[in-house]
Amino acid sequence: MTVTTTRQDWQSGQEVRWCPGCGDYTILASVQNFMADLGIAKENAVFVSGIGCSSRFPYYMNAYGLHGIHGRAPAIASGIAVAEPKLSVWVVTGDGDGLSIGGNHIIHAMRRNVNIKVLLFNNQIYGLTKGQYSPTSEKGKRTKSSPMGSIDLPFNPVSLALGAEASFVARTIDMDRNHTLQMLEAAAQHRGTAFIEIYQNCNVFNDKAFEALTGKQERTENRINLEHGKPVTFGPNDEHGVMIFDGTAHIVDVAEVGLANLHIHDANAESPAAAFALSRLSHGPYGPTPIGVFRNVPRATYEADMDQQIVDAQASKGPGDLKDLVTSGGSWVVE
């Protein structure tokens, strides 16, 4: 049943405490507006977070929520989704929380295809702990914990999600509310794990990290908007395009190769190979960078397979017996 709500209905009344100008404010507004448009009751939504600036999110949503421990939000959310499949379960995490201590939890949730929606706020820095380099900070990044420059190769979150066999993978930008809403809608309609990387500006510790995609002059040159069924073009006049050959995506001039030879984006392709190639066009937001839905394919959810396994077991063996289960293998009695 569709329920009519407004953004105000999804606001918790808690004072929002992020640094003035933080991109989290824009994302919060986008999500609250989206939840109102989704047409579900507040009691049927759950927001789960770990630790970090982004992880304050559940406090500001007037819905069920849980502020978990560092990196464990996907595991907690998985339990909720499996126990009550009718709920709309959202994970809010950051590049530190989700890709450092929580790295294993997030990749296993994606490969299992639990029906949860993961919003990963990527500001390429540890903001809550005052500016250390994170798993997505660019190589050479000078921070309080890398005064000579980071020597770590950063994660590409979209590539990571595709490599973990996520059935839905997308990327958007905090400042682009319309695009964010489109990605949220597509994720909500998907059955299974939906992963959205959101480039989020930290104006205190990593300001203008995404200027190549948000600056008035730069964004028309660098944003590659992926649209299903359309050739991949970009630039002020769509003069640039993308071709994929030898397993690698290449940026070309449309005038030289012709529009017909460009890669046609297929978000529903069973193989993630082309989506992965597109994700490698830019290892970070420093030049032409794809945003949009990289992959959106149907796959049985973990919950559905688990429920079917229970049905099959009951059909073949009847109701289970705990004592029989405990003593079915090697057992012994301690006297």
The pLDDT tens digits for 51-110 are 999 999 999 999 999 999 999 999 999 999 999 999 999 999 999 999 999 999 999 999
Give the start-to-end residue ranges of the domains of the chain. Answer: 1-209+300-335, 210-294
Specify burial of residue 239 (Cβ count, 10 A radius: 0-12, 13-18, 19+).
Answer: exposed
Give all strands of the β-sheet with 117-122 in edge-to-edge order: 64-67, 45-49, 88-94, 117-122, 194-199, 168-173, 289-296, 223-226
Q: Which helix (H) or strand (E) is 329 found in, with range?
A: none
Overall average pLDDT of the 36-49 stretch: 96
Query: Residues 249, 273: contact at Cβ < 8 Å?
Result: no
Q: Is the predicted pLDDT of residue 321 greater than 90, yes or no?
A: no
Measured over the CA atoms of residue 88, residue 268, residue 250 and residue 242, the dihedral's sign is negative
pLDDT-based confidence at residue 329 (cuts at 50, 70, 90):
confident
Residues 1-209+300-335: name the CATH superfamily: Thiamin diphosphate (ThDP)-binding fold, Pyr/PP domains (3.40.50.970)
pLDDT at 121: 98
pLDDT band at 331 (very low <50, low <70, confident <90, very high): confident
Q: What integer best gives the mean pLDDT of the chain?
A: 95
Residue 335 has what pLDDT? Answer: 82
The pLDDT, as a whole number, for residue 327 is: 80
The least confident of 38-47, 171-180, 255-264, 314-323 is 314-323
Residue 318 has pLDDT above 90, yes or no: no
User: How confident is residue 328, by pLDDT bands cut at 50, 70 and 90?
Assistant: confident
Kindly state the DSSP code that residue 330 receives in the 8-state scheme.
S
Q: For residue range 168-227, list pLDDT tens digits in order.
A: 999 999 999 999 999 999 999 999 999 999 999 999 999 999 999 999 999 999 999 999
The per-residue pLDDT for 79 is: 97
pLDDT at 10: 97
